[in-house]
């Protein structure tokens, strides 16, 4: 698989930090009112880990997702990706980062409606400079991998929500990113379809060593996570590691 | 840091790629593009028919043929350019020309604006996938140009043909003997220029605005 080719980055140690945030704050100003969506978040994400960000609605998960992904600028504080301060990047470097380093998955899929599944998946490859032929071959391969090999020519409206999200997963992996960012990838899906997407992400994570950071409400996410960060009112409330998680998951699954 | 060397800059795609993508974009939303182009066609056809109608009647008047003058008078056209009625008619024509220009302006701006604003989310998504602002703007320049040129050329032809037919039914085939071709050609070129520029501006301003935003803002932008 193409994703396994990236070996050059892991020369240092096993536990290289891919993402680090330093006292990240985000204030939305709406007229007179100031909304403190993030009130100082410090976070370190290790290469290859599967990190879930949990928290109640409005706690700032999406805001954090946007900051980490370089999709929006923090009001204060810094975001480092591979020890590079994202705020220092020029437009070309930022576009490169979004194109090659990070793959995004959104709650509402964000596929381009007029394009086929294949065209959606190959779009980031086009931006990366692949030729149409290379992109097509790789796109078909990725779609096959997510179980949509038979549906490459389908438009989003001809696909179910779960299938659309699979296309979005394939698209996120288009340029062999180091990080997959997912904002409530199962938010619009039913229980089983959601579980399938989560398992797909986990499988990609183990196979290719890609770092997965996923904001979620979904307790199904917990069992696959290496670490869970609880966000509350714009702050990191607590962080739970894998060992502790095993115990907690037991109790939560018991509830369900 | 070793990793620091890894960060590279995004490549600028060649213009041919932008042409390919934008052409495909117009093609795959064919139905939607058709509606946008129709808006442009209507606006320009209206402008052109007013201009061409005036030119045809002026051509007949300046022919100075008594037989034609008789027909003109029967149809209520004032042939003496110095009479007050003719003066009134002139100012009415000028007013109509300005009005048609305004209709054209609003029509095209509206058609283009709608076709771009409904794609803000797509612009945001493309930015997330690594599209450069300049590339997105290039795409919309090209799309607006394709649609603008196609719409205005069709509009000019439609406007001219309809007006000719209308005048032919009033005055007979004789209009073609006195048609001021060079003036109509000039009017047509003006209409094409105006329509293309308007389409371009109407398409680019919103696209530029969305392309310059942070991706999240573009994606959550509502029309
Ligand atoms: N563009 C914006 N303008 C103003 N306020 C915003 C904006 N985006 C988010 N907020 C506010 O910031 C806070 C955090 O929002 P955020 O979307 O990050 O929450 P969330 O944890 O993702 O919630 P959910 O689980 O419902 O998606 C909320 O109070 C929200 O109202
Ligand atoms: Mg959210």
The sheet with strand A84-85 has its strands ordered as: A33-46, A17-30, A76-81, A84-85
Q: Which of A55, A56, A61, A74 best tests ligand 1's pocket when mutated (most atoms within 8 Å of CB)?
A: A61
Q: Which of B130, B143, B219 to mutate to test the interface with A (most CBs of A within 10 A)?
A: B130
From CA A185, how far away is CA A196, in angstroms rounded?
A: 11
C-beta atoms of B215 and A72 within 8 A = yes
Q: How confident is the model at residue B222 (pLDDT cuts 50, 70, 90)?
A: low
Residue A246's pLDDT is 67
CA distances from A192 to A255, B1, B78 (A): 17, 43, 80
Question: Do B36 and B111 form a contact (C-beta atoms < 8 A)?
Answer: yes
ipTM surpasses cut 0.90: no
Residue B104's pLDDT is 80
pTM: 0.85
pLDDT greater than 70 at residue B136: yes
* Helices vs. strands in chain A: H and E counts, helices first: 8, 10
Q: Which residues of B touch A82 (CB under 8 A)?
A: 1, 3-4, 6-7
Q: How far apart are the first and last CA of chain A?
A: 36
Q: Which of A89, A99, A103 to mutate to test the interface with B (most CBs of B within 10 A)?
A: A99
- Residue A5 exposed, middle or buried by CB count within 10 Å (0-12, 13-18, 19+): exposed
Distance from CA of A43 to the nearest CA of B (A): 19
Q: Which residues of B touch A101 (CB under 8 A)?
A: 7
Element (H, E) at A160: none
CA dihedral of residues B200, B202, B208, B211 (deg, nearest 10): -110
Residue B49's pLDDT is 92
CA A115 vs. chain centroid, Å, equals: 22
Mean pLDDT along residues B1-22: 75
From CA A126, how far away is CA B162, in angstroms rounded?
A: 45
- Residue A164 exposed, middle or buried by CB count within 10 Å (0-12, 13-18, 19+): buried
| Facing A82 at nearest CB: one of B3, B125, B215 | B3
Angle, CA B34 vertex, CA B30 and CA B37 arms, to 5°: 135
From CA A98, how far away is CA A69, in angstroms rounded?
A: 7
Q: Which of A60, A67, A185 best tests ligand 1's pocket when mutated (most atoms within 8 Å of CB)?
A: A60
Distance from CA of B116 to the nearest CA of A (A): 14
DSSP B79: -
Determine the 3-state secondary structure of A68 from DSSP: helix
Question: Do B54 and B108 form a contact (C-beta atoms < 8 A)?
Answer: no
Q: Which residues of B touch A90 (CB under 8 A)?
A: 9
- Ranges of each domain in chain B: 32-220
Question: Do A22 and A78 form a contact (C-beta atoms < 8 A)?
Answer: yes
| Structure tokens given for B49 | 């028919």
| Facing B10 at nearest CB: one of A9, A73, A99 | A99
Residue A135: count of CB within 10 angstroms of its CB: 21
* CA neighbor of B36 nearest in space, from B139, B153, B109, B115: B115
| Structure tokens given for A192 | 């089983």
Question: Do B131 and B13 form a contact (C-beta atoms < 8 A)?
Answer: no
Q: Which of B1, B2, B3, B23 to mutate to test the interface with A (most CBs of A within 10 A)?
A: B3
C-beta atoms of B28 and A114 within 8 A = yes
Q: Which residues of A touch B29 (CB under 8 A)?
A: 114
What is the residue with the minimal CA distance to atom 3 of ligand 1?
A28
* CA neighbor of B147 nearest in space, from B201, B188, B209, B210: B201
Residue A235's pLDDT is 94
CA A61 vs. chain centroid, Å, equals: 12
Q: What would the pLDDT profile of A38-50 be if each residue is shown by its tens digit?
A: 999 999 999 999 9
Mean pLDDT along residues B139-160: 93
Residue B82's pLDDT is 76
Q: What is the pLDDT along chain A (256 residues), one digit of tens a residue?
A: 444 444 444 444 457 899 999 999 999 998 899 999 999 999 999 999 999 999 999 999 999 999 999 999 999 999 999 999 999 999 999 999 999 999 999 999 999 998 999 999 999 999 999 999 999 999 999 999 999 999 999 999 999 999 999 999 999 999 999 999 999 999 888 888 888 889 989 999 999 899 999 998 877 778 889 999 999 999 999 998 877 776 665 555 444 3
Q: B122-150 burial, b if ≥16 CB within 10 A, otherwise e?
A: bbbbbbbbbbbbebbbbbbbbbbbbbbbb
Most confident of A134-148, B58-72, B159-173: A134-148
Identify the nearest ligand to the CA of A61 by its number.
Answer: 1
Closest ligand 1 atom to A107 CA: 27
Element (H, E) at A46: strand A33-46
C-beta atoms of A11 and B122 within 8 A = no
Compute chain B's Rg from CA coordinates: 24
From CA A175, how far away is CA B10, in angstroms rounded?
A: 13
Q: Which of B124, B213, B220 best tests ligand 1's pocket when mutated (most atoms within 8 Å of CB)?
A: B220
> Residues B214, B218, B219, B220: is their CA dihedral positive or negative?
positive
């Amino acid at each position: 698989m193409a994703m396994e080719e990236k070996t050059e980055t892991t020369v240092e140690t096993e536990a290289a930090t891919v993402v680090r945030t330093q006292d990240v704050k985000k204030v939305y100003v709406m007229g007179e009112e100031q909304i403190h969506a993030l009130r100082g978040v410090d976070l370190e994400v290790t290469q290859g880990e599967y990190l879930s960000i949990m928290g109640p609605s409005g706690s700032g998960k999406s805001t954090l997702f946007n900051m980490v992904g370089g999709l929006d600028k923090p009001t204060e504080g810094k975001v480092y990706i591979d020890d590079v301060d994202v705020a220092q990047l020029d437009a070309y470097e930022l576009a490169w980062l979004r194109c090659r380093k990070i793959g995004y998955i959104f709650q509402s899929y964000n596929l381009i409606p007029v394009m086929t599944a294949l065209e959606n998946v190959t779009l980031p490859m086009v931006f990366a400079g692949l030729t149409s032929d290379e992109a097509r071959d790789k796109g078909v391969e990725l779609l096959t991998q997510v179980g949509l090999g038979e549906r490459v020519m389908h438009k989003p409206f001809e696909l179910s929500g779960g299938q659309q999200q699979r296309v979005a997963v394939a698209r996120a992996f288009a340029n062999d990113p180091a990080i997959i960012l997912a904002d409530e990838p199962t938010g619009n899906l039913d229980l089983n379809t959601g579980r399938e997407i989560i398992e797909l992400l986990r499988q990609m994570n183990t196979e290719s060593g890609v770092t997965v950071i996923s904001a979620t409400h979904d307790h199904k996410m917990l069992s696959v996570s290496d670490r869970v960060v609880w966000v509350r009112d714009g702050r990191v409330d607590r962080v739970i590691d894998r060992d502790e998680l095993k115990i907690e998951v037991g109790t939560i699954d018991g509830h369900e | 840091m070793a990793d620091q060397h890894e960060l590279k800059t995004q490549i600028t795609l060649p213009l041919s790629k932008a042409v390919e993508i934008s052409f495909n974009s117009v093609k795959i939303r064919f139905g939607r593009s058709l509606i946008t182009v129709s808006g442009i066609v209507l606006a320009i056809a209206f402008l052109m028919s007013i201009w061409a109608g005036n030119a045809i009647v002026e051509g007949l008047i300046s022919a100075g043929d008594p037989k034609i003058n008789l027909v003109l008078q029967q149809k209520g056209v004032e042939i003496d350019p110095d009479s007050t009625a003719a003066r009134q008619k002139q100012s009415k024509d000028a007013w109509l020309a300005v009005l048609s220009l305004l209709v054209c302006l609003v029509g095209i701006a509206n058609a283009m604006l709608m076709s771009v604003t409904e794609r803000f989310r797509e612009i945001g998504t493309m930015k997330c996938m690594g599209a450069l602002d300049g590339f997105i703007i290039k795409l919309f320049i090209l799309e607006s140009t394709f649609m603008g040129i196609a719409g205005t050329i069709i509009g000019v032809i439609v406007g001219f043909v309809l007006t000719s037919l209308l005048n032919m039914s009033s005055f007979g085939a004789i209009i073609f003997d006195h048609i001021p071709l060079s003036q109509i050609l000039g009017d047509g070129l003006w209409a094409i220029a105006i329509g293309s520029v308007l389409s371009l501006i109407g398409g680019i301003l919103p696209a530029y605005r969305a392309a310059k935003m942070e991706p999240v803002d573009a994606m959550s932008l509502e029309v």
